[in-house]
Structure 1
Amino acid sequence: MKFAFFGSSLVSAYWNGAATYYRGLVRNLHERGHDVSFYEPDAFERQQHRDLPDPQWARVVVYDTEQTAVDRALAEAANADVIIKASGVGVFDNYLEQAIADLKRPSNIVIFWDVDAPATLDRIEASPDDPARKQIPRYDMILTYGGGDPVIRAYSALGAKHCIPIYNGLDVSTHHPVAADPRFAADLTFVGNRLPDREARVERFFLEPAASRPRHRFLLGGSGWDDKPMSTNIDYIGHVYTRDHNAINASARAVLNISRASMARYGFSPATRVFEAAGAGACIVTDAWEGIELFLEPEREILVAHNGQDVAALLDDLTEERARHIGQQALKRVVNEHTYAHRAAEVEALLEGRRYRPEQAGRTLHV
């Protein structure tokens, strides 16, 4: 099938947390024989902070942030078999959502792919006049980055024909175990951009535990934290390019996942970093959210903290040996059940009207 995919960016992870999600899915759809064109705007300095050259497994079309350029991209995409509008493109979102719904024909499939369903649904609930309300029932299906039954129920109530979560996963070609790098040595590492509905949780789950454990070393990565007050045992390194993800994850005793407030509230929304860290064999500490056990087994494959005090206590008790064991168990689980090969096979089955079976992802890998 020929896909036309409108998203924030495939080639830049700069202020673009969905980049590795897009890359894993698109690469594996290509490997299953599909032809993908990815349309992204030249916005937010992402093209100036590329961390991926134009790949062989997708055609990347960068368009200017003017309506005429958007219209040219839409006209080109109109002949695709599957036309996708992702949430959070950042430029002309409302316009694109209506325009892509308008491209619906008997011979194609139009999809709204929500990479931040909890935030989208909260926004729509708070605004009866939100333009997305009119467009949701017009799409053949709503696919989401996560959210489970709570998100499915919410989208169904808004008139969605079908709503199916396509969860994050591991891109084994990009994220894998590597040797530790002394530059990134830490007892606990967290990587995430500074966002309004994440900041308070970062304070509780990372900054406060760091302040309470001055003898431990903490590493903070991500954009926007430059002027944030933090204890002296935190090393802030700014934006982390994809090329350093494996080393970051492999060099810490534990890697922290902190969900944004809306994602934690809905549950069933494992962040990309969970699978990236597991793919590198890292021991993950995550904040608590409903549905964790669907992806990794608490205490055996992942550690769960309900507050900052839990994070500090887990660090106190976590030996290097136990951390390595938990990381290895997580690596085995995600490689065998949660790769983007599995996710792409699921998408293909949905589009072809088949029931997805795990073996459709290809041969099970063993670590």
Structure 2
Amino acid sequence: MSSTLKKNLDSLQSLARERTVKTQNIEFDLETLIKRIDKGIVKLDPDYQRRHRWNDELSSRLIESLLLNIPIPVIYISQDIDVDDETEDNVSRFTIIDGQQRLTAIYRFMKNELELAGLETLQDLNGLRFKQLPPFLLRRLDERTVKCLRIDSTLDPQVKYDIFERLNTGSVKLEPQELRNATARGPFNDALKRMAGNSSFRKMLQIPSENPELSAKVRKMEDLELVLRFFSLRNGGYKELSKGLKTFLTERMEEFNLLPQQSISKMEEEFSECMSFLDCALGVNAFAKYNVQAGQIVKKMSSFNAAVFDAISVGASEYFTREQIASKDALAISKFDDYHVLFEDSDFFLAVSGATADVSKVKYRIEKVIEHLAK
């Protein structure tokens, strides 16, 4: 065996050992599982009512399966804190890696929040809630158990993200930020949810102020990812982008979660100031995409474009001082008077079109905005 091959095999063996997942099969009856969620031992997403992707009919079909004793898929949980470790009462020991929608549906029903709808086999139960079920069906639910596969507590967060992504083959595909929300919990993740509620930000993203949960951007957590993109790419971050935007954002999320609360609070203030500034400068169509010819807008191609958001928000944050942004400096705002001419540049237009996560496109569109503001 050559030394190179032996070295490669040793490296492969080391990597395989490092990435091997240790698991344990466990089984919970529904009552115990609900109690553990209530006590915070098992952590569901804190915003599950707002971000829950299953509609009532899909949730009801799962409950019908439980009542008919039809097997349901295994729920994968991550043991984040070992059972012997001391911790504060409000810190969860387990989080859901895969099965959050199923577990949320069960939780909602057993908490009397879900009204059964769209059942075909047990049609007489449509319109009923948990407490209205006949006693024999309540006994069935008492006896039902849910099979879980527990992932070892020592696992690297990135490996948990990979597991979540590989398991994500259900009827409702999870988006990258939904994966991060489940595998990269922490103070910055909580702050993302607060910042995404900023009124100017929502206005420019075309998210309705009333019933924002009706927006696909909110349901899929795309709004949270946009906030994460802003902080990940600003302060020269876009220059460090080299191995793909998705991985880059996940790594930044982990880094930001480790920041002290004081730093995170400052970031929240800066985000609010920047969105208010851009709202004042550009209004509701701040991040629209245009077809521009001879310096004139021929057509608005979309009211919101995520790549344009990167270019405008990060470009402004890079070029202007915090004082200019916070005070809504008139000269700074005037720099955007003819910003639409950027779209006449074929390279810029390409950089906000198709495969927009491409590293070279991200860098180009941000630098082009900075260059325009510097004129």
**TM-score of the superposed pair, with normalisation by structure 2:** 0.24
Q: Considering fraction of residues, name the structure with more helix.
A: 2
Q: Which structure: larger Rg?
A: 2
Query: Normalising to structure 1: TM-score of the pair?
Result: 0.24
